[in-house]
Amino acid sequence: MNILSYLIPISLFLGGVGLVAFIYTVRTNQYDDPEGDSRRILSDHYDDHPKP
């Protein structure tokens, strides 16, 4: 049963990572345009360089 002392914290930690990631995506407006985002991955135009 000693294995529980690793497994329980690990499962809680992994779940927590998922939760934090979800909260981050909500906070940064990533669900505003689900339809557009699913199409944007097909575009080969990169917009990671903002206009100077």
The answer to the question of residue 30 lying near other proteins (CB under 8 A) is: no
The answer to the question of residue 45 lying near other proteins (CB under 8 A) is: yes
Structure tokens at 16: 């927590």
Least Cβ distance, residue 35 to other proteins (angstroms): 4
Which DSSP string corresponds to the chain?
Answer: -TTHHHHHHHHHHHHHHHHHHHHHHHHTTTTS-HHHHHHHTT------S---
Task: Enumerate binding residues for other proteins (CB under 8 A).
Answer: 1, 4, 8, 11-12, 15-16, 18-19, 22-23, 26, 31-36, 39-40, 42-43, 45, 47, 50-51
